[in-house]
Amino acid sequence: MGGHSATGLLRPGVDPLGSAFAALLGLSLLALPLMTTRPNRIAAGTGLTAWSALPSDAVLLLGGVVALGLPLLALRAAPPLRLAAAAAILLLLGLSAGWAADHLTLPGDRYGRVSPDAGWWLAFATAALAVGDGLARLRPGPILRIALLALLVAATGLALRTGFWNNLSVLREYASRSDTFGRELRTHAVLALTSVAAAAALGIPAAILARPVPALRTGLLATLNVVQTIPSMALFGMLIAPLAWIGRAVPGAAALGIAGIGAAPAFVALLAYALLPVAAATVAGLDAVPWPVRDAARGVGMTARQRLLQVELPLALPAILTGIRIVLVQNIGLAVIAGLVGGGGLGVFVFQGISQNAGDLVLLGALPTVAMATGAAVLLDAVVDLSRGRAAERVP
């Protein structure tokens, strides 16, 4: 039994993708600087390797976990072992950032900055991809994926609340802007969510009405496709003049916040970009409903409205949700540009950081954006899988 179990957990041979992960992790941790120290937020930094940036016990712990984990990634290990190895390395990298910041920050130093360098970022990204690969091989169900996402969010929130990473430069930037960060984070989330909700409210009915008529269907998708070809920065800029005129000329428009700069152009641009994926996904989902199912619904006497609401839309729901997932992740990223037109959001910190040559301020806006987009993708992927299961139950 023991020999059989060992053979099942670790088989002879090399895993190509795992070998690439192991090589990148080894390169990033051994050949590249792990952390950077700077005397202030905009000064040039000094890169430090892992054994210079971390206290000795942390070096031994990180080195031991990596030494055990890399072979499990490179060899043909069972998915649970691969996932455990990648997750352990990812966890140790997160802890190492806090340990290094505490180790390198002098007591009472309010101006010095400690931040992850190229080695840490490459290792963290590689470990995160390895975790994703391990989860993909295990194929966890949607409920388990949602639970794992909630656990990750809770653990990250706990670490932030305890101040474990407070000496990292990006959190020092946060400390000086904590009064505005929450407001901009909410603005960013509201812009992304409301623009997607509006796109669903407009795009789904438009696709349903246009789909049976070839000319309308082609015209709708072609028109929305033209909007997608306009660069985002150009579209945000093009909306300033007409919305400024509407704000001046239309009674009550200014009171609603419609103006040349601010949230209005950001919302309209995000809505415009979201319409095509939602409409196209709706058309594709309805087209994919099996003809025998439509025929059976017609045979039992259902009206066209009943067939649409009780048969076609429920079966098309996974495709529609996939389109919504795409635009939500897209709009969370695009909402950064709202900071350029006075719309607020996390882009405010990104563009302030660029103008001040302060990379950590850029990260203060970029990292939560990436986290929100990743969380939204994982959550909606799980919802899509749940909807597919329910749609499959409807097909005889």
Q: Give backbone dihedrals phi and psi of 290, rounded to 5 degrees, phi first.
A: -60, 140
**Residue 238 CA to chain centroid, in angstroms?**
27
Residue 128's pLDDT band, with cuts at 50, 70 and 90, is very high
User: What angle, 0 to 180 degrees and rounded to 10, lies between the N-to-C axes of helices 359-394 and 178-210?
Assistant: 40
Q: What is the pLDDT of residue 110?
A: 82
Q: Give backbone dihedrals phi and psi of 336, rounded to 5 degrees, phi first.
A: -60, -35
**Whole-angstrom Cα Rg for the chain:** 25
Choose among 74, 83, 212: nearest CA to 138: 83
pLDDT at 35 exceeding the cut of 90: yes
Considering the four listed CATH numbers 1.10.3470, 1.10.287, 1.20.140, 1.10.150, the one that applies to the domain covering 2-150 is 1.20.140
pLDDT at 392 exceeding the cut of 70: no
* 269, burial (CB in 10 Å: exposed 0-12, middle 13-18, buried 19+): buried
Q: What is the pLDDT of residue 281?
A: 94
Cα–Cα distances (Å) from 232 to 266, 279, 330, 363, in that order, read 10, 19, 11, 21
Counted residue by residue, the chain has a size of 396
Kind and range of the H or E element at 33? none
pLDDT at 3 exceeding the cut of 60: no
Per the prediction, the chain carries an average pLDDT of 87
Q: Which residues contact 335 (CB under 8 A, 6 or more apart)?
A: 188, 191, 192, 195, 266, 270, 343, 345, 346, 347, 369
User: What class does CATH assign to 178-394?
Assistant: mainly alpha
Q: Which of 96-105, 227-236, 361-370 has the lowest mean pLDDT?
A: 227-236
Give 194-240 pLDDT, tens digit per residue. Answer: 999 999 999 999 999 998 888 999 999 999 998 888 877 777 777 77
Give 132-186 pLDDT, tens digit per residue. Answer: 999 989 888 899 999 999 999 999 999 899 989 999 999 999 988 888 999 999 9
Looking up tokens 């400690």, which residue turns up?
Answer: 114
Residue 5's pLDDT band, with cuts at 50, 70 and 90, is very low
Summarize the confidence of residues 97-123 as an average pLDDT. Answer: 91
**What is the C-alpha separation between 89 and 26, in angstroms, rounded?**
11
Give 12-30 pLDDT, tens digit per residue. Answer: 788 899 999 999 999 999 9
pLDDT at 254 exceeding the cut of 80: no
Tokens for 146, please give them.
């949602």
Choose among 98, 74, 102, 72: nearest CA to 9: 72
CA dihedral sign of residues 295, 296, 299, 303:
negative
Name the DSSP letter for residue 112: -
Q: What is the pLDDT of residue 256?
A: 61
Domain ranges of the chain: 2-150, 178-394
Alpha helix locations (H) across 250-358?
A: 263-287, 291-299, 304-307, 313-334, 347-356
**What is the C-alpha separation between 224 and 88, in angstroms, rounded?**
45
**What is the C-alpha separation between 328 and 379, in angstroms, rounded?**
11
The percentage of residues in the chain with a pLDDT greater than 70, rounded to a whole number, is: 92
pLDDT at 396 exceeding the cut of 60: no
